[in-house]
């Protein structure tokens, strides 16, 4: 099972993003959501931006993603489409890049993937970590992709979460 820290996108998020002037949502395929549902719905991740230029950079980084798009909450047609996507009978399951309780998510990730992280460190780094030492991972979202930052002493490594899960 893939670790998924993201919340389902709620209709109330729309007004919150509008009020915060985060008008741009970058849509992309979200494979981490698929494990949570047995139906044939498409899972989409929306990442919010207040800067249109950053949204464009993110969207342009999504090569070969048929769901890559920028939703502009100031555009009525975009807003209508998003609301349609959020309906229960929609063919989409939409997630937000928001993480409700980051501390709880990191604790859950550590509990679920602790052995994978140990194996990754043992096989992919030259770190020699004492058995009684706990590595505290930090999640980072880059263009919709989850990365884990591992740190030991003055050394650190950023790894795709997928790679940790496969280890």
pLDDT tens digits, 112-161: 888 899 899 999 999 998 888 878 788 899 998 999 999 988 889 999 99
Structural domain spans, the chain: 12-96, 102-166
Q: From edge to edge, which strands make up the β-sheet containing 92-96? A: 69-72, 24-29, 42-49, 92-96
Diameter of the chain measured on Cα atoms = 57
Alpha carbon distance 120, 71 (integer Å):
37
Q: For position 45, what pLDDT does the model report?
A: 97
Taking CA atoms, 62 is separated from 25, 34, 66, 100, 144, in Å, by 14, 19, 9, 25, 9
What is the DSSP-derived secondary structure letter of residue 54?
A: H
pLDDT tens digits, 69-103: 999 999 999 999 999 999 999 999 999 998 878 88
**CA-derived radius of gyration, the chain:** 18
> Lowest-pLDDT range, 1-10, 20-29, 30-39, 51-60?
30-39
Average pLDDT over every residue of 9-26 = 97
The alpha carbon of 96 is separated from its chain's Cα centroid by a whole number of angstroms, namely: 8
Contact residues for 160 (Cβ-Cβ < 8 A; gap 6+)? 145, 146, 147, 148
At residue 16 the predicted structure's pLDDT band, cuts being 50, 70 and 90, is very high
């Amino acid at each position: 099972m893939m670790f998924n820290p993201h919340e389902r996108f709620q209709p109330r998020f729309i007004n919150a993003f509008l009020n915060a002037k985060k008008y741009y949502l970058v849509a992309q395929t979200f494979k981490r959501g698929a494990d949570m549902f047995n139906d044939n719905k498409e899972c989409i991740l929306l990442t919010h931006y207040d800067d249109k230029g950053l949204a464009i950079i993110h969207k342009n980084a999504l090569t070969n993603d048929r769901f890559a798009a920028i939703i502009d909450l100031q555009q009525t047609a975009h807003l209508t489409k998003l609301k349609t996507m959020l309906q229960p009978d929609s063919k989409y399951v939409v997630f937000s890049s928001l993480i409700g309780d980051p501390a709880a998510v990191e604790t859950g990730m550590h509990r679920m993937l602790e052995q994978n992280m140990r194996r990754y460190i043992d096989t992919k780094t030259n770190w020699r970590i004492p058995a009684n030492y706990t590595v505290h991972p930090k999640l980072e979202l880059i263009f919709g992709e989850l990365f884990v930052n591992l740190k030991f002493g003055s050394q650190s490594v950023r790894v795709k979460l997928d790679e940790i899960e496969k280890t």
